[in-house]
Amino acid sequence: MSKLRYAMVIDVRRCIGCHACSVACKSENSVPPGVWRSWVKQGEKGRYPNASVSFLPTLCNNCENPICIRNCPTQATYQREDGIVMVDPHRCIGCKYCIASCPYDVRYLHPIKKIVQKCSWCYHRVDVGLEPACVNSCPTRAMTFGNLNDPNSEVAKLLARNAVAVLKPEKNTQPHLFYIGADEALIRATGASEEVRA
């Protein structure tokens, strides 16, 4: 069996937009107000009666070819053997170049610690055999986490049986967060309503 490589699969068809994952993430990782490691992007399209709401849970893609690692000047951002992209809080100088380089806007400067942080797939939970907090909290089991290289893992089975997509594949970052049933129009639409932006 090949080595451990974590991946996440989100079946967006199951997502009800309850934001439990965002709340669990905030709580688990002490993410301060104003910044997010994980959130659920939500959009609407069409006109009644032909209308729909769609969701896109968004977090770090823990890419296989991460531009943040390539561009970090102090090797504060690095990748574990299992693929999780980390930030060393003692090494980071807060130059924010990784934030500028990331095509997914999933990194932020901690407003008090003044270092860069991001989702690390709750490595501290994963290392003791638990699931990431977001996966654990999802009431509809839309989120699945596991070893990509184990053919019997849930993620491997989902990837083998479904049409999947990743965000911005053209950036050659090789994301390891896969979506089933994500609306391309919601992926492509960017920005936020004014209230959310403020």
Pick between residue 49 and residue 191 the one whose CB is nearest to other proteins: 191
Q: Does 142 contact other proteins by CB under 8 A?
A: no
151 upstream amide cis, omega within 30 of 0: no
Q: Which of 36, 45, 37, 39 minimizes the C-alpha distance to 62? A: 37
Nearer to other proteins, 39 or 156 (CB): 39
For residue 111, the one-letter residue type is P
Please give the size of the binding site for other proteins, defined by CB under 8 A: 56
Whole-number minimum distance, CB 193 to other proteins, in Å?
6
Instruction: Record the tokens describing residue 52, joined without a space.
Output: 């729909």
The verdict on 179 binding other proteins (CB under 8 A) reads: no
| N residues, the chain | 198
Q: What is the nearest approach in angstroms of other proteins to the Cβ of residue 177?
A: 13
Q: CB of 160: closest distance to other proteins in angstroms?
A: 29
CB of 23 to other proteins, least distance (A): 13
Nearest residue (CB) to other proteins, 42 versus 136: 42
H or E segment to which residue 42 belongs: strand 39-47
Cα distances (angstroms) measured from residue 174 to each of 60, 62, 67, 153, 167:
12, 9, 10, 20, 9
Alpha carbons within 13 A on the beta-carbon side of 17: 9
Tell whether residue 80 is a contact of other proteins (CB under 8 A).
Answer: no
- Are 58 and 106 in contact by the 8 Å Cβ rule? The answer is yes
Which of the ranges 96-104, 132-140, 142-150, 153-161 carries the binding residues for other proteins, by CB under 8 A?
96-104
- The token pair at 122 is 């709750």
Site for other proteins, rule CB under 8 A: 35-36, 39-45, 53-54, 58, 67, 70-76, 91-97, 99-110, 113-116, 170-171, 183, 185-186, 188-193, 196-197
